[in-house]
Amino acid sequence: MGAYQLQVQIDQDSGFCFGVVYAIDMAEEILAEEGYLYCLGDIVHNDEEVERLKAKGLRIIDHADLVNLHNEKVLIRAHGEAPETYRLALQNNITLIDASCPVVLKLQNRIKTSHDSKENILIFGKHGHAEVIGLQGQTNNEAKVFQDIAELDTMELPQQITLYSQTTKSTDKFYRVKEELIARGYEVKANDTICRQVSNRDKDLPEFAQKFNKIVFVSGKKSSNGKVLFEVCRKHNPNTYFISAPDELKPDMFLPGDTIGISGATSTPMWLMEQVKAELESY
């Protein structure tokens, strides 16, 4: 223990969700056997974990690279992919190692069914996000995507709407959007497709956040649910810091004897939170 005698505890409910664990386990197994593996996009929205896997031979490629790749194995990460990716793989004799999260696959399927039934689909999600691109792909990119209620003001919307959500959005916000659309006179068929591993964290986190003087929230800057969960922490404990790596911490953020809770996104590896804990305990 350092001179500050900080009392530090990691939120045991935080860390990788099962979709990410599944993708990383799959990648590590193939890397151990073959020494390298291509992955379409960052395997997880956490730079530290991506670097760890790159050191084991993971090669991150994008869709433009895929066009020129032949006769190789390529991992599809938990976020899922659009149908176009599968067509291209077939064409280029690429073996896809599909680690799409089952929650995302189920949602893709539901959106495709809605689209085939000629429904007007609206997706509450982040523009350009990997999962959202895969979802739009189920509708020939005809589905409209919006990030927040304000954006709806600028959209021409049909009278009847089928509303879906990216799996890592906030449940509260989803239902607020639904109510707002109904209040504006639209007929809304709402499908709550938010992952329960994310929404349950929404529920458990307030209790965790209130137990400590300060919260250190560890997440990659690209993580969508990282943003959601950080806001939940900050709402229930204003002394919440967002960091991506231990070197962003400074002793002057803390007072001797502080109690500190460490939490993270569903894309934050436990080993990184352990490093943050060790850093704090050294003060």
Quote the domain boundaries for residue 81.
18-101
Would the pLDDT of 66 be above 80? yes
142 is catalytic: no
Whole-angstrom CA distances from 134 to 116, 139, 146, 225 are 16, 9, 15, 17
Output the pLDDT for position 198.
86
Query: Of 77, 101, 125, at which residue does a domain stop?
Result: 101
Q: Is residue 235 part of a domain?
A: yes
Mean pLDDT of 64-81: 97
Quickly state the pLDDT bin for 203 (edges 50, 70, 90): confident
Same structural domain, 109 and 183: yes
Q: Is residue 2 part of a domain?
A: no
Q: Is residue 1 part of a domain?
A: no
Q: Is residue 219 part of a domain?
A: yes
Would the pLDDT of 281 be above 80? yes
Number of domains in the chain: 3
Same structural domain, 138 and 96: no
192 vs 166: CA distance, rounded Å: 9
Same structural domain, 114 and 186: yes
pLDDT, one tens digit per residue, over 259-274 is: 999 999 999 999 999 9
- Tokens representing 212 are 């400590």
pLDDT, one tens digit per residue, over 23-56 is: 999 999 999 999 999 999 999 999 999 999 999 9
pLDDT, one tens digit per residue, over 99-154 is: 999 999 999 999 999 999 999 999 999 999 999 999 999 999 999 999 999 999 99
- Domain CATH number, residue 270: 3.40.1010.20
Q: Is residue 229 part of a domain?
A: yes
Same structural domain, 209 and 275: yes
The DSSP line for 31-48 is HHHHS-EEEES-SSS-HH
Same structural domain, 210 and 231: yes
Query: Of 143, 167, 194, at which residue does a domain stop?
Result: 194
Same structural domain, 203 and 215: yes
Quickly state the pLDDT bin for 3 (edges 50, 70, 90): confident
Which of 8, 3, 2 is CA-nearest to residue 258?
8
The catalytically annotated residue of 131, 151, 156, 274 is: 131
Q: Is residue 177 part of a domain?
A: yes
Output the pLDDT for position 1.
62
Same structural domain, 251 and 273: yes
Q: Is residue 87 part of a domain?
A: yes
Percentage of residues of the chain with pLDDT beyond 70: 100
Query: Of 67, 101, 135, at which residue does a domain stop?
Result: 101
Percentage of residues of the chain with pLDDT beyond 90: 94
**If you average pLDDT over every residue of the chain, what do you get?**
96
Reported pTM = 0.92
Q: Is residue 227 part of a domain?
A: yes
Mean pLDDT of 75-79: 97
Residue 248: CB atoms within 10 Å: 14
